[in-house]
Amino acid sequence: MKLEVILDTDQLPVHYHFLFVSIIKNAISRISKEKMESLYYFQDKINKQGKNFSFAVYLSDFIMEKDIFHINGYIKWTISSNDYAFLLYLYDGLITQEKFTYQNATLRVKSIRTIESQKIKSRKCIFQTLSPITVKGKNGRFLSIEDPDFTKEYIYICRKIIFNNADRNPLEPLFFKPLNMKSVMVQVKHKDFDKLNKDSILFVKAYKGLFELQGHPEDLNILSQTGASFRKSQGFGCIKLISQS
């Protein structure tokens, strides 16, 4: 299932990824602090295990000036997950508070609607990225799609996502094929990246567009709903089913 949230604001930081992570934490905490802590903490430490959701941000009618988006239209924020309890807590938290402030940005919730995910029944699907996918190699570097290890590492993270969700390996082998993918460089800013550079920015090589994924329908349903990428709970790998055959 997906939540589609329409937000109103005058401006948004270019490095907005952790702004939306903050809203998720804040909204869920208002309804269930236990649920939020189960997602982000384990034995009083930060929980680094992959989370079963992804999100994407779409800006309508904006002007970019330095590190700020000046918004004349609206923001469409899409959150996708197969965890209905998570989405329910998030939904209730968003409509309860309605306004969220992060640094110099204030976002107001204008509307929320739920979108049921189309059931996948086939073994071959074409997906469109709502937020770009990114892949890391064993050396920790983000891989180019032309790298011979890209497909192998992408399948690796898909297998890991399936295991984290279903406590099992994929029912059938997975196959990935890029169809019309374009490279994008995404800047993610957070205090944890202060050792990387003076601006605390992580530069993420990522890809957006269309790709084909083959596998067992149950596995494809998991990936379709939770997202399929490294760093997916930070605004990567939210995908939309285009067709299945």
From 115, 134, 162, give the residue that closes a domain. 115
**Rounded Cα–Cα distance for residues 4 and 126 (Å):** 21
Question: Tens digits of per-residue pLDDT, 211-229?
Answer: 999 999 999 999 999 999 9
Statement: residue 137 has pLDDT above 80: yes
- Note the pLDDT of residue 97: 87
Q: How far apart are CA 225 and CA 218, in angstroms?
A: 11
Binned at pLDDT 50, 70 and 90, residue 47 comes out as confident
**Partners of 58 in beta bridges:** 76
Could you tell me which residue, 176 or 50, shows the higher pLDDT? 176
| Structural domain for 6, as ranges | 2-115
Q: How many domains does the chain have?
A: 2
pTM of this structure? 0.94
Domain boundary among 93, 115, 137: 115
Shared domain check, 215 and 133: yes
Same domain flag for 11 and 89? yes
Order across the sheet with 99-102: list the strands.
53-59, 75-81, 2-8, 105-115, 99-102
What's the burial of 112, exposed, middle or buried (CB within 10 Å: 0-12/13-18/19+)? middle
Residues 83 and 163 in one domain: no
Q: Residues 13, 105: contact at Cβ < 8 Å? A: yes
Could you say which of 80, 115, 150 is where a domain stops? 115
Q: What is the pLDDT of residues 16-45, one digit of tens each?
A: 999 999 999 999 999 999 999 888 887 767
Secondary structure E strands in the chain:
2-8, 11-13, 41-42, 45-46, 53-59, 62-65, 68-71, 75-81, 99-102, 105-115, 124-129, 175-189, 201-214, 239-244
CATH code for position 84: 3.30.70.1890
CA dist., res. 86 & res. 83, Å (int): 5
In this structure, what CATH number is given to the domain that contains residue 138? 3.30.70.1900
Q: Are residues 102 and 139 in the same domain?
A: no
